[in-house]
Structure 1
Amino acid sequence: MIELLVVTVGGGVGAAARFVVDGEIRTRHSGGFPWGTFVVNVVGSFLIGVFSTLFFALLHRGVPGDLAHLLQLALTVGLCGGFTTFSTATVESVRLARSGRLRLALANALGTLAVTVTAAGLGLAVGGLFY
């Protein structure tokens, strides 16, 4: 039951953060490309990489396994899961394609995939510095 609670709280915080970050970016960058969604997915992927290694770093430093596990769930599944939104990125790519902006649709779909995977890898590397 505690696992569900930490994921729920983390998810709520992540979704609220996504709403704020996406809204701020949208007000500053109008136009065809969905920069808000792109940025939250890249940042979230990086953080998931960092937080994924945090679990092992905490265990290595003597933090009890149950506590480290709950923290990992709260941060990766909850916070980052609520913050990122790949389904929205997909819908935005389809909308761009349907409106005839195929280059933007392709840039969004492939760019999101390439940059988020790279960001996750960098996050793992950065997180590994703490292990």
Structure 2
Amino acid sequence: MTIVLIVVGAALGAPLRYLADRAVQAGHDTVFPWGTLAVNVAGSAVLGFLAALPAGSGVMAFAGTGFCGALTTYSTLGYETVRLAEEGARFHAVANAAASIVAGLGAGYCGAALAQAVS
């Protein structure tokens, strides 16, 4: 049953990731990968929120592993950072890596704080 919950969560998170990434990136005329940053930060906030709740393993399998796992993407962050560096946009590459780490950790912390405040 856990596998089914993960698959269903991922089936929802993956298309949302694509659509949100494209929507955010379409609003910016720059080489900086704003769409990937946005989905990774949002996913970090949701996962931080979920991790701080006294939720059952089914909720975490569906929403944490499945949905957030498919919504966020470390591989795309790595690829886009390397691509920026190779194309000579080194400032953007460093900014992408730094912003992703700092914003992701901050969003996870805020999500956890919100969960503690409401529970």
Settle same-fold status: TM greater than 0.5. yes
- Which residue number corresponds to residue 52 of structure 2? 53
Deviation readout 1:7-46 (Å, 9 max, x if unpaired): 0110110011101100111211121100000000000000
Structure label with greater radius of gyration: 1
Q: Once superposed, which parts of structure 1, at least 4 consecutive aligned residues long, lie more than 4 Å away? A: none
Q: How does 1:24-39 map to 2 (within 5 A)?
A: 24-39=23-38
State the alpha-carbon separation in 1 of the partners of residues 88 and 48 from structure 2: 35
State the alpha-carbon separation in 2 of the partners of residues 91 and 30 from structure 1: 19
Number of residues paired by the alignment? Answer: 119
For 2:91, the aligned partner's letter is R
- Which residue number corresponds to residue 41 of structure 1? 40
- Which residue number corresponds to residue 125 of structure 1? 113
- Which residue number corresponds to residue 22 of structure 1? 21
For 1:23, the aligned partner's letter is R
- Which residue number corresponds to residue 99 of structure 1? 87
- Which residue number corresponds to residue 87 of structure 1? 75
Root-mean-square deviation (Å): 1.0
User: What is the TM-score with the length of structure 1 in the denominator?
Assistant: 0.87
SS in 2 for 1:129: helix
In structure 1, runs of 5+ residues without a counterpart are 59-67
Percent identical pairs in the alignment equals 33
User: What is the TM-score with the length of structure 2 in the denominator?
Assistant: 0.96
Moved more, 25-34 or 111-120: 25-34
In structure 2, runs of 5+ residues without a counterpart are none
State the alpha-carbon separation in 1 of the partners of residues 12 and 86 from structure 2: 33
